[in-house]
Structure 1
Amino acid sequence: MQAAIASASSSRPWRDELRATLSLAWPMMLANLTMQLIQATDVILLGWLGPTELAAAALALSLSFGMILFALGVLTASSPMIASALGARFNSVRDVRRTFRQSLWAAVMMTVPTLIVLWNAEPIILAFGQEPELARLAAWFLKGYMWVIPPWMLFQVMRNFVSAMERPGWVLIISSAGIPLNGLVSWSLIFGHFGLPALGLIGGGIGSSIVWTAMALALAIVILTDRQFRRFHLFGRFWRPDWRRFRQLFLLGGPIGLTMGFEGGVFSAAAYLMGLFGAPSVAAHQIALQIAATTFMVPLALGQAATVRVGLAYGRGDRDGITLAGWTAFGLGTVFMTVMAALMYVFPRDLITLFLDDTPGNAAVISLGVSFLLVAALFQVVDGAQVVGAGMLRGLHDARVPMVFALFGYWAIGLGVGVALAFAMDWRGIGIWTGLAAGLGVVAILMIWRWTRRETLGLIHASA
């Protein structure tokens, strides 16, 4: 009897952590999925225009992808900083406000160069050896889509705050409303409905910009009016500089941003390498990437939840809590991605034809997309492992070494192997995707190795 009681007692912390992680992560999962589905909706609508337009949009989105992920990574640093302040409790209102304000400063600073690059997209895309017509169409799409960046940045700053407060449900509600709104607005502007002109590609970009602006305003209203949030006075005197906190944000967020930028950049580079094989390869790559990115949203949310849960335990100096929080999120991510790998392997064609009609004119794109998705099935588990592992380490404010892991894994291994297989071995697009799989696997192994040696490496302070 005593043994049974002891066993139940020892398993209770794991059950409690599982419950806490899921209660934090599931709104993040749904919020991530809904935000990803907003872009997936654009891809579907642009796919109806034809493979050429879809390929052009893919090049446009790929140009912005690495910069957006770098910015997201920098802003992500506010989440563990806020979580640690809330875990420590002392003077948390002031510390949270300082971090939020300087995150706004960082968002503005990163928005300006991003807009400059996207405004001059056509010569940049041409410099990467792409077809002139694709470069022209991609630049035209970006003239409307680039205005997504300012509200998207603001939304991410606010999202990190409400997530660290363990109330991400508001992000879910607003993002869920954004999906049908984006579909309706973009559909109307692309094809000309409800008296609006048929703008084609640029209409999709303008529609996304309108929707993200509405979503950012909605979340700002929530923060200003919700009783639990408004006590922080987050937007009060936001123009006041706090150079010490600004530096802290970039010291932690810079490596996180580079880590995420390296991953996003290698997928962007893959899209431009696909362009050397023709428009069908680019279109197929974008569809397969959208599917893989959709499944990736769940382990991304678990990584975000791990950052908060590990960060809270780290702030309390709770060594056992750190262990529980990290491994619980990792186990959930591994199970989910295993299931997704099986679905991709069994139903690749059904998934690809969600984005394109199964017609003879689209046969080449569909065939390539199926082959790419089969490779994506192979790297699902390691993709989930590396993003959750990175989130676990961020909760310990450990970002610099993971940044080096990402640079080595994604670019030296991932792109290096991909280029060798695509061109030297003439595997073409399959070679690029095989290289991506190899890079993700290496990064996953390195992240988990560092987590398992966190105490030996001094990542946990002595009082924990």
Structure 2
Amino acid sequence: MTQVMTYGGHVRAVTRLGLPLVGGHLAQFAIGLTDTVMLGWYGVEALAAVTLAGSYFFVLFLLGAGFGWAVMPMVAAASAEDDETSVRRATRMGLWLSLFFSVLVMPMMIWSEPILLSLGQTETVAALAAEYLTVAGWGIFPALLVVVMKSYLAALERTQVVLWITVIAAFANAAVNYGLIFGNWGLPELGIMGAAIASVVTHALSLVAVVIYGLRVLPEHELFRRFWRPDWEMLAQVFRLGVPIGITSLTEVSLFAASAMMMGWLGAVPLAAHGIAVQLASATFMVHLGLSNAATIRAGNAYGRRDGPHMARGAKVVFVLSLAMSALTIVWFLTGAEGLISLFLEPDDPDRPEILAIGVGLLAIAALFQLVDGAQVVALGLLRGVQDTTVPMVMAALSYWAVGMPASYLLGFTFGLEGIGVWLGLVLGLASAAVMLMIRFWRRVIPTI
């Protein structure tokens, strides 16, 4: 008879899996933050160009990363069934699809300037961003392959190594940036191109580290033996699962990009306050994202064993942990808003009082935002664990674009709530996604397992 795991056992299992994944996401977040800070020191024009180029790269990366993220539930389910052949097949075809996607989008990296100009960017910033992408764009190859390998290792519950490889990459990125952007340690001062080289080096080092670990610790999977041989059946499965995941992630990011555009209509100061509030909300969101990944792995294991009660208990635990984190964040954002926002501002900045005033209001909304954002990303993680991605993609897209976007515009501009209204629209969009996705998981998925 299978032993029933207690709720305490589920808490221990989720935290053991989830905490390293949370740390890994925070380390990845730190990489982007380091780039922003160092290029901000170097020059405003360089910072603007890399902000634009980074957003461009990230959109393409998110689309391709769906294939890597699809590997996680597939490997988790196969591992639960002791099916090492399927573990190898799914991971290998995830690597294949990531390579194919990288080849497909590389021309968009090399010849990005006309695309950026057509999107209304200034000639100077578009030219600098395109120059950056001609080098940094090559990083999409190792970056997407790293997503696959990290998903493979995480699904096998080897999350500690995922954390440490990301932490080492964050330090390496900071060191190479510091050397090549500013010309320190006898290296040439390359400015924005130094940041591009640092980006590629960081992704490449991460790939080397994760591949070496996988080959040495899990040689029985023989991931790269006869790597050239196609497996069309498994490739189709990873493709069908991965495309909706990539599109779902893209639709959520595009909602936040649209909110930034709306805040820009209100002026530079509201946009600056928005940028700070988003950075703070993104940092705390990494905790929910790590819990979502743990939920995917745990649900994938239960799905492989067809153990519905185990999955239901584990899902309740993840939701409660996410809720607890939201409660802590609400207290933090409501009581420490001014101090948090001040970390991003110069003491003598003439716009400081206005940015603080707007930012405090946005962080109050962000406190509410945490509840629904955490709930929807955990629900998505659970649904991915049972390899249900297409309907959740439609639900998320409708929530973000049919609810969130119009609500942001109406509340912000038609009803005159400005920045607060734009953010309330985000809350409504994310709340809609949370409700629909949770209903799907509890009413449609759990009864069938």
Question: What's the TM-score, normalizing by structure 2?
Answer: 0.91
Distance 1:371 1:70, change over 3 A: farther
Query: More displaced, 323-332 or 371-380?
Result: 371-380
Distance 1:266 1:64, change over 3 A: farther
Query: More displaced, 75-84 or 182-191?
Result: 182-191
Per-residue deviation, 1:49: 3.4
Among 162, 174, 185, the alignment partner of 2:176 is 185
Distance 1:121 1:287, change over 3 A: farther
Deviations 1:225-269, CA, capped at 9 Å, x for gaps: 11xx11101111222111111111121222222111111222233
- Note if 1:303 corresponds to 2:296: no
Q: Report the RMSD for the aligned CA atoms in angstroms.
A: 2.5
Per-residue deviation, 1:222: 0.7
CA distance in 2, matches of 1:381, 1:58: 28
Secondary structure of the corresponding residue to residue 410 of structure 2: helix
Confirm or deny: 8 A CA contact 1:189 1:196 kept in the other structure. yes
- Note if 1:113 corresponds to 2:70: no
- Note if 1:221 corresponds to 2:212: yes
Paired residue type of 2:399: G
CA distance in 2, matches of 1:447, 1:185: 42
Per-residue deviation, 1:391: 0.7
Per-residue deviation, 1:369: 5.0
- Structure 2, unpaired ranges of 5+: none
Q: Which residue does the alignment assign to 1:416?
A: 406
Confirm or deny: 8 A CA contact 1:418 1:434 kept in the other structure. yes
Question: Alignment identity in percent?
Answer: 38
Secondary structure of the corresponding residue to residue 221 of structure 2: coil
Q: Which residue does the alignment assign to 1:45?
A: 38
Deviations 1:68-115, CA, capped at 9 Å, x for gaps: 2222223211111111111122xx111111101100111012213333
- Structure 1, unpaired ranges of 5+: 1-8
Deviations 1:50-74, CA, capped at 9 Å, x for gaps: 5554344333222233332222223
Output aligned runs, 1:17-416, within 5 Å.
17-89=10-82, 92-226=83-217, 229-274=218-263, 284-360=273-349, 363=352, 371-416=361-406
Output aligned runs, 1:442-457, within 5 Å.
442-454=432-444
Secondary structure of the corresponding residue to residue 288 of structure 2: helix
Confirm or deny: 8 A CA contact 1:142 1:202 kept in the other structure. no
Deviations 1:317-347, CA, capped at 9 Å, x for gaps: 2121010111111111111122123222333
Confirm or deny: 8 A CA contact 1:389 1:448 kept in the other structure. yes
Confirm or deny: 8 A CA contact 2:65 2:98 kept in the other structure. no
CA distance in 2, matches of 1:358, 1:235: 54
Distance 1:136 1:357, change over 3 A: farther
Per-residue deviation, 1:429: 4.8
CA distance in 2, matches of 1:446, 1:307: 18
CA distance in 2, matches of 1:131, 1:194: 34
CA distance in 2, matches of 1:426, 1:121: 37
Confirm or deny: 8 A CA contact 1:51 1:279 kept in the other structure. no
CA distance in 2, matches of 1:185, 1:55: 20
Paired residue type of 1:446: M
Q: Which residue does the alignment assign to 1:6?
A: none
Secondary structure of the corresponding residue to residue 397 of structure 2: helix
Confirm or deny: 8 A CA contact 1:58 1:271 kept in the other structure. no
